[in-house]
């Protein structure tokens, strides 16, 4: 479930590891490493220099120009533990620091992964704009929608166009913009595109403010849950009354993704 607000929340809590020195790296499941441009040993003895985010990816910079990229997939978690804590299930990689703390990479379903790479920017050359940046605007989105028959929701989930929106925030943004998720992208009018851009930004900002959505798996770097699940208006609310018009929320599969919407408020 980690989408942009969840990854951003983890990134914020992981600022505390900047400056910590890596004493040891344990690989319990080496196949969780997707890219071996660097050997794990190369990271030992170095300090974390920065943790940043691009879309749903976390980027770890180390001293002397080493990097690591992480994606949480569906069930991935990255969190701090104390040395000696009992190892939890599905922890695939552990970084031990010289101060006695550890960073655990846990991922039950293993849709996520780690990339030990030299130049992380190369991974993101084909990635779309950050939806919270000023580059994401009506003038960016309008030409992308032109003549596209794909559902607008499918397009919002395309990371090559916009990076960071996932299933939950796509449904919530479309509700806020009062647009049905299965509308052909090319059928959106200028006013609707404008509303959608605003709604995407508002929903993502609110998600960050609430420190993410915890339906099942999500937790931050200190194992704390998010709160945005208490503010969801359509996602996961099939058959429950719309908060605005009391009509039941409907669920429909769009491009293999479960989608939730109000048939009355959204056009």
Partner DNA sequence: AGCTCACCCTGGACGC
Partner DNA sequence: TGCGTCCAGGGTGAGC
From 56, 153, 211, 237, the catalytic residue: 56
Active-site residue 31, yes or no? no
Between CA 73 and CA 10 the distance in angstroms is: 14
Using CB under 7 A as the criterion, what x/- string covers residues 219-248 for binding DNA?
------------------------------
| Residue 258 interacts with DNA (CB under 7 A): yes or no | yes
Nearest approach, Cβ of 197 to DNA (angstroms)?
19
| Residue 108 interacts with DNA (CB under 7 A): yes or no | yes
Nearest approach, Cβ of 92 to DNA (angstroms)?
11
Between CA 115 and CA 57 the distance in angstroms is: 10
- Cβ closest to DNA, residue 22 vs residue 117: 117
Between CA 179 and CA 177 the distance in angstroms is: 6
Active-site residue 119, yes or no? no
48 to 67, contacts with DNA by CB under 7 A?
A: 55-56
Nearest approach, Cβ of 7 to DNA (angstroms)?
9
Residue (of 80, 83, 102) closest to 13 by Cα position: 80
Between CA 6 and CA 33 the distance in angstroms is: 22
Between CA 190 and CA 202 the distance in angstroms is: 18
Q: Which residues, 6 or more positions from 156, have their beta carbon under 8 angstroms from its beta carbon?
A: 162, 165, 170, 173, 174, 200
> What is the set of active-site residues?
2-3, 56, 257
Interface with DNA (CB under 7 A): 1-3, 55-56, 71, 73-75, 89-90, 108-111, 148-151, 154, 157, 159, 166-168, 185, 216, 253, 255-258
């Amino acid at each position: 479930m980690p989408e942009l607000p969840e990854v951003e929340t983890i990134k914020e809590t992981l600022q505390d590891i900047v400056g910590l020195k890596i004493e040891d790296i344990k690989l319990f499941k080496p196949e969780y490493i997707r890219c071996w441009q660097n050997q794990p040993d190369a990271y030992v003895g170095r300090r974390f220099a920065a943790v940043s985010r691009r879309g749903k990816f976390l980027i770890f910079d180390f001293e002397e120009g080493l990097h690591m990229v992480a994606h949480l997939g569906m069930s991935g978690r990255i969190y701090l533990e104390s040395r000696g804590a009992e190892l939890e299930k599905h922890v695939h990689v552990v970084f031990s620091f010289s101060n006695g703390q550890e960073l655990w990479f846990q991922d039950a379903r293993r849709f996520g992964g780690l990339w030990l790479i030299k130049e992380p920017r190369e991974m993101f050359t084909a990635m779309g704009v950050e939806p919270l940046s000023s580059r994401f605007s009506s003038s960016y989105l309008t030409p992308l929608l032109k003549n596209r028959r794909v559902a607008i929701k499918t397009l919002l989930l395309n990371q090559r166009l916009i990076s960071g929106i996932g299933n939950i925030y796509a449904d919530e943004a479309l509700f806020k913009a009062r647009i049905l998720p299965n509308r052909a992208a090319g059928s959106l009018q200028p006013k609707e595109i404008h509303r959608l851009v605003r709604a995407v930004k508002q929903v993502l900002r609110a998600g960050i403010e609430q420190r993410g959505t915890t339906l099942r798996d999500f937790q931050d770097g200190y194992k704390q849950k998010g709160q945005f699940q208490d503010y969801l208006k359509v996602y996961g609310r099939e058959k429950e009354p719309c908060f605005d018009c009391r009509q039941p929320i409907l669920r429909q599969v769009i491009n293999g993704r479960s989608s939730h919407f109000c048939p009355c408020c959204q056009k």
